[in-house]
Each structure stands twice: as structure tokens, then as C-alpha cells.
């Protein structure tokens, strides 16, 4: 049963992080070696080179989003961008209102920030409940709007289940109502079309390490006109990035982010199509061989490379343990530090049991067909083996309706 | 997650996976945990005429540590009397498998499973604490009629 570990691990966890594209590394290398200047050093070549590289990266990021380079703020990642967007807007607009609309399935960078502001008494937060596919509707958002609503923040694509909110529709609504609209697009950029004007978004967070760039760098798009978004900074100290984010720029990281964005823009159509084919292949192989498999998320409106499946009657961590040659993640409580099952799956109302049985596969740029085939094979084999060991599967085979059973949870 | 070698061993080569006939008078069945918690263990014992657990089987829905804990439990109860099996503590399981703190609850559930199986067996055979050796002040003893081995 011990698999052959002489093969490299098949990496299907690209939504957690992605490998550095060699081309991105190439672009970064000079700035990790001989071009080490501080981009803020105005008086010598080292500084000018760094500044030029940063400027180029700004253009590359902006081009991916359909924005102006002047609207790109560099940060340490999407978490920081989310913090800046939400805290910055709430504080800046304090005289105008205090209500923020978001969703229960957002990334913790949004949820925890919102909860923090709520606990400080500076904001009222509405956490919209998604439908069972993980989407909210523009109508839901509209019904939640109050006179004092100042910000709507909704992720473009969910990291766990891949579901896509109708951002353009909500953007239109937000624009009509004169409410700033932020979208955490970390999982969406480079995978689905995302143009800030088509989407009518006013702020966008993104992160390099989800798009084959380095960890520790991201960006926040901040609209300059109609509306003009201004934010109270979270980082003070020198006034960099138009006063919105102080701190010496991470030049190599920024160069990497820029290059990553460029590659996304150039290759996104063929890449998304390729990932979709592989994703469907993985799904079909698995569902043709196994029964009692549920898809978590929207079958249609989701990222091309993401598939989150629940394998009923088998627990997620035990499944992962049986496939050490495949890197995936699970919504099971056993795999989380807090011993809580995935809050995203909970919000969908799938029931904790399916959360405990869930596995997320996220295909990426470097995933091959062979990877998918081998992963499917080993998953199928392990699920079958674990079902043989599962008292729940046994009961179901005997015709027992599990929902009618009185469980004695003794701990 | 770093698993101990013993947990991995039990996971890859689980002992005594399977089922006994729960309708058999000699079989005690314990089902503990709940699907919403991510842990369900079914542990069964078969007790011989002389009160010794001669066979044990388990099935578990749960993580590797839960599977290992219940697999180990079936190994340990075999060859013990019902009373001896009651002495198995979750801490013994934790030590044997080197379970980290976050997985201790798996061992607790395994202990619960053993007890549930033993209690089930007892409730099916409550007219016969016929084990040779110490009974634990079982109430049934007070009303015991003199009978030969009462297990068919």
C-alpha cells in the first residue's frame, strides 16, 4: 500500500499556493543580485533602475486588470490589500456611514478584518449567506443596502470551492447606489476575465503567489476616478504608494508580481481552457468509478481548475493520508488547526459530515494529464479501501438511512 | 502532519477490519461518535463461553489517528476477559501510538467504543456474569439463579 515515493508528488493544491514560474524567477534575479537599489533612491543609478523596474511592474499589473498604473498600490500580499481596502475605506468614510456588506464565505482576511472593525464599534457588518452553490445574487446585495452603507466587499472567486460571484452585476448595482465596491480577486485573476471597468469595481486585491509569482507580495487596485477612492493607510512611514502604503518597496517581489501578471495576461485564454479540460477529466474519472461523490460549489460558475468533492462516508484526512503522492487539501476538521470543519462548506449548508469528507483539487499551469490520471487512480483506490473500513458505508449498504440514526457522540 | 510510525502502520495495515454478526448473543457492538463530528467508530467483540474475548472487529470513519486507535483497540481486547478489557484507558492508546495533543480525542473515542461494545455484550447476557474470576459488583450477581453455563 505504501506508494512509490521515488516519483515527484503530484501537486494539485494550486489554490493554496503555486510554484514560481521559471520565467518569473528569471525576471526577478537581477534584482536579487546586482540591481539591489531602493526604488526610492532618486539620486543614483541603483535607485533609478529599481524604480524603472517597479514602474514596469505597475504597468504589467494594471494591464491585467484593465486599469491605469497610477491605480496600483503594492503590498505584502492579498491579506494586506484586503486590510487596507476595508479598514482604509471604513475610516475614510466614517462621516458618511458605517455599514459594510460582505459574504460568509470570504477569505479570513476579509472576515476577520470586518469582525475586528465590528468589535471596535466602527462598523456594522452584514455577512450575506450564499446559496448552496456558494454564490450571492445582486438582489441579495441590494436588499441588504442601507442608507449608511459605505462598502461592499465580495471575492471574485472562492478559494475553497471555486464559485464565482456575479461581480459585474453587483458592480453595476454598487455604482448606481454610489457605494464603493471592493473585490478580493486573488483566485480569479489570470483564471477568469477580470477587467475593473467591465466589473465596475473600485478596489481589487491580488496576490503574486497564487499566479506563479513569489510569496510576500501583492497589490491593491484603487480607482482614481468616478469614484475617486481614497483610503486611510494601514502602514505609515514615509508616504510611499501615493500615501496609501508606506515602506520600502519589495523590488524583486514586485518585479516577480509584474512578470506573473504579464504571463497571465498573455497566456490566460489557452491556460484556462487547458485547465478546464484537465479538471473535467479528473472529475469524470473519479465520478465514473465512485458513487456517493458530491460536488461542492457551482458546477457552472466556478474557476476552471478547481474541483471540491465530498467522498461520502470517508473522512478527508484519512483520505489524504492514503494518497501521500498527491498534494491536495480538505475541509475536514481533522485537517484544520482549530479542529473546526471548513466554514465555507458550512456556509453552503452541505452539512458538517460532507465537510469532513471533502477534498479540494486545484489544477494549475504545471499540471499534466498524466498527473490527473495518476491522482484520480490513487484517489479512487484509497476511497474504495476506506469505504470498506467505514461503518457509515456499511450502514448505507444495508439500507439504513443515516439521517434517521441516533448518534451517541460521546466526546 | 507528522504521523508516528505506529499510526502509519495501523493505517496501512489495519488489524481486524470487518464485522461480526450483531445479532449473535456472543457479540457486543459499540457505535460511538457522529458523522457531523468527523468521527464514527464501530467496534465489535465476540466473547467465548469462558468469558474471553476471542475476536474483535472494527470499522471507522475518521482520520488516520482515529483508525489507528480503533485498530489498536481491537488488537488489545483480544484475549482479555470482559473485565480486563474495561481497564483499557485512552492514555494507554495515546502512549502506544504517540498521539499528539490535537489527536487525543481519537483515543478517547476508541476507549468509549470498547466500553460501548462491552456494555452491549453485557446487556445481552445480563443473566450471566459467568466469567470466572472477579466480577465488578455487577448487580446481576445478586439475583443469580443457579444455572449452568447460560450461554447457548
Measured between CA atoms, how close is B86 to chain A, in angstroms? 17
* Residue A227, preceding peptide bond in cis (omega within 30° of 0): yes
Measured between CA atoms, how close is A371 to chain B, in angstroms? 23
Q: What distance lies between CA A58 and its chain's CA centroid?
A: 21
Whether residues B35 and A321 touch (CB distance < 8 A) is answered with no
ipTM, interface predicted TM-score of the complex: 0.81
Contact A31, A251 (CB under 8 A): yes
Q: Each residue of A118-145: pLDDT tens digit?
A: 999 999 999 999 999 999 999 999 999 9
Cβ neighbours around A164 below 10 Å, total:
22
Asked if A358 has any chain B CB less than 8 Å from its own CB, the reply is no
DSSP string, A174-240: HHHHT-EEEEE-TTTTTTS---HHHHT-SEEEEEGGGTTS-TT-EEEEE--SSS------SS-SS-T
Whether residues A409 and B37 touch (CB distance < 8 A) is answered with yes
Whether residues A318 and B37 touch (CB distance < 8 A) is answered with no
Residue of B nearest to A391 (CA): B59
- For residues B100 and B98, what is the distance between their CA atoms, to the nearest angstrom? 6
Residue of B nearest to A334 (CA): B63
Which candidate from A315, A341, A410 shows the least CB-CB separation from B61? A315
The 10 Å CB-count burial string (b at 16+, else e) for A40-65 is: eeeeeeeeebbbebbebbbbbbbbbb
| pLDDT at A6 (0 to 100) | 44
Cβ neighbours around A165 below 10 Å, total:
26
pTM of the model: 0.89
Whether residues B38 and A332 touch (CB distance < 8 A) is answered with yes
Sequence-ordered list of residues with C-beta below 8 angstroms from that of A283, at least 6 positions apart, any chain: A295, A307, A309
Residues from chain B contacting residue A391 (CB–CB below 8 Å): 31, 40-42, 59-61
Which candidate from B12, B17, B66 shows the least CB-CB separation from A1? B12
A251: DSSP letter: H
- For residues A335 and B20, what is the distance between their CA atoms, to the nearest angstrom? 31
Q: What is the CA radius of gyration of chain A?
A: 22
Contact A405, A395 (CB under 8 A): yes
Top residue of A310, A312, A314, A315 to mutate, by most chain B CBs within 10 Å, is A315
Percent of chain A at pLDDT exceeding 90: 91
Whether residues B108 and A332 touch (CB distance < 8 A) is answered with no
pLDDT by residue, tens only, chain A of 411 residues: 333 434 589 999 999 999 999 999 999 999 999 999 999 999 999 999 999 999 999 999 999 999 999 999 999 999 999 999 999 999 999 999 999 999 999 999 999 999 999 999 999 999 999 999 999 999 999 999 999 999 999 999 999 999 999 999 999 999 999 999 999 999 999 999 999 999 999 999 999 999 999 999 999 999 999 999 999 999 999 999 999 999 999 999 999 999 999 999 999 999 999 999 999 999 999 999 999 999 999 999 999 999 999 999 999 999 999 999 999 999 887 777 777 889 999 999 888 888 999 999 999 999 999 999 999 999 999 999 999 999 999 999 999 998 888 887 544
Amino acid at each position: 500500500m505504501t506508494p512509490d515515493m521515488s516519483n515527484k508528488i503530484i501537486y494539485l493544491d494550486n489554490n493554496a499556493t503555486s510554484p514560481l514560474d521559471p520565467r518569473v524567477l528569471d525576471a526577478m534575479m537581477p534584482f536579487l543580485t546586482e540591481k539591489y537599489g531602493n526604488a526610492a533612491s532618486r539620486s543614483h543609478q541603483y535607485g533609478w533602475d529599481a524604480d524603472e523596474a517597479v514602474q514596469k511592474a505597475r504597468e504589467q499589473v494594471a494591464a491585467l486588470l484593465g486599469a491605469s498604473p497610477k491605480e496600483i498600490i503594492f503590498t505584502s500580499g492579498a491579506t494586506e490589500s484586503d486590510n487596507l481596502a476595508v479598514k482604509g475605506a471604513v475610516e475614510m468614510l466614517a462621516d458618511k456611514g458605517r455599514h459594510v456588506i460582505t459574504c460568509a464565505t470570504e477569505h479570513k482576511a476579509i472576515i476577520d478584518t470586518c469582525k475586528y472593525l465590528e468589535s471596535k464599534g466602527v462598523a456594522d457588518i452584514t455577512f450575506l449567506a450564499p446559496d448552496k452553490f456558494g454564490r450571492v445574487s445582486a438582489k441579495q446585495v441590494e436588499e441588504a443596502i442601507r442608507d449608511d452603507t459605505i462598502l461592499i466587499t465580495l471575492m471574485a472567486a472562492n478559494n475553497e470551492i471555486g464559485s464565482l460571484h456575479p461581480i459585474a452585476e453587483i458592480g453595476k448595482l454598487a455604482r448606481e447606489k454610489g457605494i464603493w465596491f471592493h473585490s478580493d480577486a486573488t483566485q480569479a485573476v489570470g483564471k477568469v476575465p477580470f477587467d475593473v471597468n467591465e466589473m465596475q469595481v473600485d478596489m481589487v486585491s491580488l496576490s503574486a503567489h497564487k499566479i506563479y509569482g513569489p510569496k510576500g507580495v501583492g497589490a491593491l487596485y484603487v480607482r482614481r476616478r468616478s469614484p475617486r477612492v481614497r483610503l486611510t493607510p494601514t502602514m505609515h512611514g514615509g508616504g510611499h504608494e501615493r500615501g496609501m502604503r508606506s515602506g520600502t518597496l519589495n523590488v524583486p517581489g514586485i518585479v516577480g508580481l509584474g512578470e506573473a501578471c504579464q504571463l497571465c495576461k498573455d497566456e490566460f485564454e489557452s491556460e484556462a481552457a487547458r485547465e478546464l479540460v484537465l479538471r473535467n477529466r479528473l472529475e469524470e474519472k473519479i465520478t465514473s468509478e465512485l458513487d456517493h461523490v458530491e460536488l461542492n460549489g457551482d458546477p457552472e460558475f466556478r474557476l476552471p481548475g478547481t474541483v471540491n468533492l465530498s467522498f461520502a462516508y470517508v473522512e478527508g484526512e484519512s483520505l489524504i493520508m492514503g494518497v501521500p503522492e498527491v498534494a491536495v487539501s480538505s475541509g475536514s476538521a481533522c485537517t484544520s488547526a482549530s479542529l473546526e470543519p471548513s466554514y465555507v462548506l458550512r456556509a453552503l449548508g452541505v452539512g458538517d459530515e460532507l465537510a469532513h469528507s471533502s477534498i479540494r483539487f486545484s489544477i494549475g499551469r504545471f499540471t499534466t494529464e498524466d498527473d490527473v490520471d495518476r491522482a484520480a487512480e490513487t484517489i479512487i483506490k484509497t476511497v474504495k479501501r476506506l469505504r470498506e473500513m467505514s461503518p457509515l458505508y456499511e450502514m448505507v449498504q444495508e439500507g439504513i438511512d443515516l439521517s434517521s440514526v441516533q448518534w451517541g457522540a460521546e466526546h | 502532519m507528522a504521523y508516528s510510525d505506529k499510526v502509519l502502520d495501523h493505517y496501512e495495515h489495519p488489524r481486524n477490519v470487518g464485522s461480526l454478526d450483531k445479532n449473535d448473543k456472543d457479540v457486543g457492538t459499540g457505535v460511538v461518535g457522529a458523522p457531523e463530528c468527523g468521527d464514527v467508530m464501530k467496534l465489535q467483540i465476540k466473547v467465548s463461553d469462558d468469558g474471553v474475548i476471542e475476536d474483535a472487529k472494527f470499522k471507522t470513519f475518521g482520520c488516520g489517528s482515529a483508525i489507528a486507535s480503533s485498530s489498536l483497540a481491537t488488537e488489545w481486547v483480544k484475549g482479555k476477559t470482559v473485565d480486563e478489557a474495561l481497564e483499557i484507558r485512552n492514555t494507554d492508546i495515546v502512549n502506544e501510538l504517540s498521539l499528539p495533543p490535537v489527536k487525543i480525542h481519537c483515543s478517547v473515542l476508541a476507549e468509549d467504543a470498547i466500553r460501548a461494545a462491552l456494555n452491549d455484550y453485557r446487556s445481552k447476557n445480563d443473566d450471566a456474569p459467568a466469567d470466572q474470576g472477579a466480577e465488578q459488583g455487577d448487580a446481576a450477581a445478586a439475583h443469580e439463579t443457579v444455572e449452568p453455563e447460560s450461554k447457548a
